[in-house]
Amino acid sequence: MAATEPDRPAAARSTALLALTAAAMALPGMAPSTAQAQDSENVSLEYHRYEEGSRDLSSSYLFVKPKPLEVDSLSLAAQGTLADRIFFGLDYTQDTWSGATPVTTLPHAAIGAQIQSGASIPTYYATNLKRQPVVPNYSIFNGRTYPRVNDSRLADVIASASPETRREISGKIGYRWDSTTASFGAGISDEPDYKSYFINTDGSLDLNQKLTTVNWGASFTYSDIAASLASNTAADFGAYTDQIRLKGTESYLYGSRHDVSANAGVTQILSKDALVAGEIGYTRSAGYLSNPYKATEFAFDDPHQFIDITQLRTVFIKGVLEERPRLRNQWNFDIRYIQYVADTDAALHFDYRFFHDDWGIDAHTFDVSLYQPLGDGWMIVPGARYYTQSAAYFYKPFFLFNQAFPVKLPRNPEVPAQIDFSKVRIQHYSSDERLAGYGTATIELAIDKQLKENLRVELGADYSYRSGQLKLGGGGVQNFADLHSYTVYATLKFDLAGRTGLEDYRNGAAIGGDGQTQDAAAAPASAIAPVPAGVRFTRLLTERGDFAISLHHDYGIQGGDTLHGTDTVSDARIAKLDCGGQDCTRRVAGAYAHSTTLDILYAPVAGWTLQVSPQLVDLHLDETDLGGGGIILPPHPGLGPGGGTIPPNLFHSSAGLGDTGIYVLKQLFGDDGNRIDAAVGLSLPTGSTDKRVNKSSDYLSYFLQPGSGTVDFAPTLTYRGGTGRFAWGAQLGWVERLESSNDAGYRLGDRVQGSVWGSYRVLDWLTASLRGVGTEQGVIHGRFKPHVTPVQNGYKIVNGQPVPIFKNVVQPQTELGPMDQPGSYGGRFGDIGFGVTATVPSGAFAGNRLSVEWLQPVADDANGYQRARTGALSLTWEAAF
Least Cβ distance, residue 203 to another protein (angstroms): 9
| Contact between residue 124 and residue 136 where contact means Cβ atoms under 8 Å apart | no
> Which of these, 263, 251, 399, lies nearest to 331 by C-alpha position?
263
Least Cβ distance, residue 36 to another protein (angstroms): 6
Which residues have a Cβ under 8 Å from the Cβ of 787 and sit 6 or more positions away? 697, 698, 699, 810, 811, 813
d(CA 396, CA 392): 9
The span from the first CA to the last CA of the chain, in angstroms, equals: 20
Residue among 366 and 726 whose Cβ is closer to another protein: 366
Q: Tell me, rounded to whole angstroms, the distance of Cα 589 from its chain centroid.
A: 25
Q: DSSP string covering 611-675, please?
A: EEE-EEEEEEEEEEE-SSS-EEPPPBTTTBS--SEE-S--EEEEEEE--EEEEEEEEEEE-SSEE
Q: DSSP string covering 383-421, please?
A: EEEEEEEPPPTTB-SSEEESS---B-SS--TTSPPPB-G
Residue among 90 and 766 whose Cβ is closer to another protein: 90
538: left (phi over 0), alpha (psi -120 to 50) or beta: alpha
Least Cβ distance, residue 815 to another protein (angstroms): 30
| Contact between residue 376 and residue 357 where contact means Cβ atoms under 8 Å apart | no
Least Cβ distance, residue 199 to another protein (angstroms): 9
Which residues have a Cβ under 8 Å from the Cβ of 518 and sit 6 or more positions away? 542, 543
Residue among 62 and 557 whose Cβ is closer to another protein: 62
Residue among 13 and 195 whose Cβ is closer to another protein: 195
Residue among 50 and 881 whose Cβ is closer to another protein: 50
d(CA 487, CA 50): 4
d(CA 710, CA 704): 16
Least Cβ distance, residue 265 to another protein (angstroms): 10
| Contact between residue 806 and residue 792 where contact means Cβ atoms under 8 Å apart | yes
| Contact between residue 399 and residue 622 where contact means Cβ atoms under 8 Å apart | no
> Pairing mode, if any, of strands 295-300 and 399-401?
parallel
Least Cβ distance, residue 80 to another protein (angstroms): 14
| Contact between residue 283 and residue 327 where contact means Cβ atoms under 8 Å apart | no
Least Cβ distance, residue 229 to another protein (angstroms): 12
Residue among 160 and 609 whose Cβ is closer to another protein: 160
Residue among 383 and 826 whose Cβ is closer to another protein: 383
Least Cβ distance, residue 742 to another protein (angstroms): 28
Least Cβ distance, residue 789 to another protein (angstroms): 25
> Which of these, 684, 655, 680, 661, lies nearest to 552 by C-alpha position?
661
Least Cβ distance, residue 498 to another protein (angstroms): 15
| Contact between residue 366 and residue 389 where contact means Cβ atoms under 8 Å apart | no
Least Cβ distance, residue 556 to another protein (angstroms): 25
346 phi and psi angles, rounded to 5 deg = -100, 170
Q: Which residues pair with 171 in a beta bridge?
A: 90, 186
Least Cβ distance, residue 411 to another protein (angstroms): 31
Residue among 56 and 571 whose Cβ is closer to another protein: 56
Angle at 391 between CA 166 and CA 70, to 5 degrees: 30
Q: Which residues pair with 75 in a beta bridge?
A: 46, 93
817 phi and psi angles, rounded to 5 deg = -165, 180
| Contact between residue 486 and residue 50 where contact means Cβ atoms under 8 Å apart | yes
Residue among 301 and 448 whose Cβ is closer to another protein: 448
Residue among 261 and 777 whose Cβ is closer to another protein: 261
Residue among 91 and 622 whose Cβ is closer to another protein: 91
Residue among 221 and 613 whose Cβ is closer to another protein: 221
302 phi and psi angles, rounded to 5 deg = -70, 115
> Which of these, 355, 228, 339, lies nearest to 292 by C-alpha position?
228
Angle at 489 between CA 484 and CA 492, to 5 degrees: 170
Three-class SS state of 845: coil
Least Cβ distance, residue 81 to another protein (angstroms): 17
Least Cβ distance, residue 428 to another protein (angstroms): 15
Least Cβ distance, residue 496 to another protein (angstroms): 15
